[in-house]
């Protein structure tokens, strides 16, 4: 069933509820395939930004009884957003720039402090907050039996951004307040954890002669050692992703206050996942609730919904809407694949779309052009039953890894 923000959705025979006014048939078919699994409950909810993905669509939310699907969580476990509202205003930025320090100097400082791009990690001794966060993660791994031998350099990954649609931004809200905003996840260590358990789930389903509509819907059964191992690893990776964002945000704050020349006052901090599984209660049953490209939107819970490169982002508050499984979109959602975007657009196209925003231009970022994504404002109109918009942010500075 298709239901935009202007309609009231209801569970249908195929147990798919869509909140997207624009959605492709292959995305709907993926959702139907997921919904047909006997342990999915109560239905599959497609967020306004839903698009085709690995196994299940990005922007998919569903509950499971007695099983979890590792590929439905995705390979960037715990990927999400962090935003900080500061005491600085647009006037502070104008004053610094009038004094001869442009935003390009801030961008360069951020790029020197936070490793960017896949495979780029810290190459120095971690100290202070990063060291404390690594010690917390090491203790968690030891206490829960998480084996990290596949990623001996996981500590050096803490506080690194990655590539793709991960970014760091300086933004202004409608009142001129300055926000720090960034998007990242569990990096290489999370990817290895996910791939390991996806392989295990596929192997077990083949062993049990389970006929699946898609091999990437392979699942682990509650009560087995494999299930327990995945849940422990999943919780660790989610915590890594959360602390990774915290570490980068702290480094961002240090660079920003150095650039402004006055101490930074932090007024509000929001840190939220949009790729994860958690135990929740929906429609009378306790389920393993998977959000793949969706944020938690319980009543009163704040979350962050980024747009694409060069467009608006949103700070929102959940409305606890049951049919969406108390969830909301995680961003704009892709319209074109990366390869297709590179065929359609050029670096000059991107430069024109980024007018007035400090960023590092280059061919490597063309697949992140706003035209490769859905209209974030349309996505937010579709999300009206799900969240209340608190702030609309516009970028003044953008940092990305290739």
The answer to whether residue 352 is domain-embedded is no
The pTM of the full predicted model, rounded to 2 decimals, is: 0.94
**Which CATH number is 242's domain given?**
3.90.1860.10
pLDDT at residue 301 greater than cutoff 50:
yes
Give the number of other Cβ atoms within 10 Å of residue 106's Cβ: 24
- Residue 314: CB partners within 8 Å, gap ≥ 6? 304, 305, 306, 307, 376, 380, 389, 390, 391, 392, 393
The answer to whether residue 211 is domain-embedded is yes
Which ranges constitute the DSSP H helices of 218-360?
A: 225-260, 338-344, 347-353
Give the number of other Cβ atoms within 10 Å of residue 361's Cβ: 12
Q: What is the mean pLDDT of residues 392-399?
A: 97
Token pair 């001996």 in the structure block, residue: 152
User: Which one from 51, 274, 330, 391 is the annotated catalytic residue?
Assistant: 330
Which contiguous run of DSSP H or E holds residue 93? helix 90-98
Token pair 């918009």 in the structure block, residue: 389
Name the percent of the chain lying above pLDDT 90.
87
The answer to whether residue 229 is domain-embedded is yes
Angle formed at CA 23 by CA 19 and CA 24, multiple of 5 degrees = 150
Q: What is the mean pLDDT of residues 370-385?
A: 95
How many distinct structural domains can be found in the chain?
A: 1
The answer to whether residue 159 is domain-embedded is yes
The answer to whether residue 121 is domain-embedded is yes
Q: What is the pLDDT of residue 120?
A: 86
Q: What is the mean pLDDT of residues 3-23?
A: 67
Q: Mapping DSSP to helix (H, G, I), strand (E, B) and coil, where does residue 353 land?
A: helix
| Residues 145-201: tens digit of each pLDDT | 999 999 999 999 999 999 989 999 999 999 999 999 999 999 999 999 999 999 999
Extended beta strands in 247-370, E state:
266-273, 275-282, 285-292, 294-296, 302-305, 313-318, 327-329
pLDDT at residue 210 greater than cutoff 60:
yes
What average pLDDT does the structure give for the chain?
Answer: 93
pLDDT at residue 11 greater than cutoff 50:
no
Q: What is the pLDDT of residue 124?
A: 63
The answer to whether residue 8 is domain-embedded is no
Which ranges constitute the DSSP H helices of 261-288?
A: none
Give the number of other Cβ atoms within 10 Å of residue 196's Cβ: 16
Residue 328, domain extent: 16-335+373-400
* 43 assigned to active site: no
Q: How far apart are CA 203 and CA 32, in angstroms?
A: 23
The pLDDT confidence band at residue 314, using thresholds 50, 70 and 90, is very high
């Amino acid at each position: 069933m298709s239901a935009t923000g202007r309609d009231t959705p209801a569970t249908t025979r195929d147990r798919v509820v869509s909140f997207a006014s624009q959605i492709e048939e292959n995305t709907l078919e993926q959702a139907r395939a997921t919904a047909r699994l006997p342990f999915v409950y109560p239905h599959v909810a497609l967020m306004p930004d839903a698009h085709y993905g690995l196994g299940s669509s990005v922007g998919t939310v569903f509950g499971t009884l007695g099983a979890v699907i590792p590929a439905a969580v995705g390979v960037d476990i715990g990927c999400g957003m962090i935003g900080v509202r500061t005491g600085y205003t647009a006037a502070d930025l104008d004053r610094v720039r009038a004094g001869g320090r442009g935003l390009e100097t801030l961008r360069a400082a951020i790029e020197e402090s936070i490793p960017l791009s896949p495979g780029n990690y810290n190459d120095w001794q971690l100290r202070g907050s990063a060291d404390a966060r690594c010690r917390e993660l090491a203790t968690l791994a030891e206490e829960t039996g998480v084996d990290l031998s596949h990623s001996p350099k996981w500590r050096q990954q803490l506080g690194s951004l990655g590539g793709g649609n991960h970014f760091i931004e300086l933004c202004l809200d409608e009142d001129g307040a300055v926000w720090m905003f960034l998007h990242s996840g569990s990096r290489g260590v999370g990817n290895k954890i996910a791939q390991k358990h996806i392989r295990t789930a596929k192997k077990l389903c083949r062993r049990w002669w389970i006929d699946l509509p898609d091999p990437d819907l392979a699942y682990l059964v509650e009560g087995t050692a494999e299930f327990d191992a995945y849940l422990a690893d999943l919780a660790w990776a989610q915590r890594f992703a959360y602390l990774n964002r915290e570490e980068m945000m702290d480094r961002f704050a240090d660079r920003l206050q150095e650039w402004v020349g006055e101490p930074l006052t932090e007024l509000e901090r929001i840190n939220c996942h949009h790729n994860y599984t958690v135990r929740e209660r929906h429609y009378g049953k306790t389920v393993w609730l998977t959000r793949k490209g969706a944020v938690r939107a319980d009543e009163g819970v704040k979350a962050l919904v980024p747009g694409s490169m060069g467009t608006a982002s949103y700070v929102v508050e959940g409305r606890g809407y049951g049919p969406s499984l108390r969830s909301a979109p995680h961003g704009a959602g892709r319209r074109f694949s990366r390869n297709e975007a590179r065929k359609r657009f050029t670096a000059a196209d991107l430069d024109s779309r980024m007018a007035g925003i400090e960023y590092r231009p280059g061919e490597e970022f063309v697949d992140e052009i706003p035209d490769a994504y859905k209209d974030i404002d349309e996505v937010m109109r579709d999300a009206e039953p799900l969240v209340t918009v608190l702030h609309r942010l516009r970028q003044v500075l953008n940092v990305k890894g290739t």
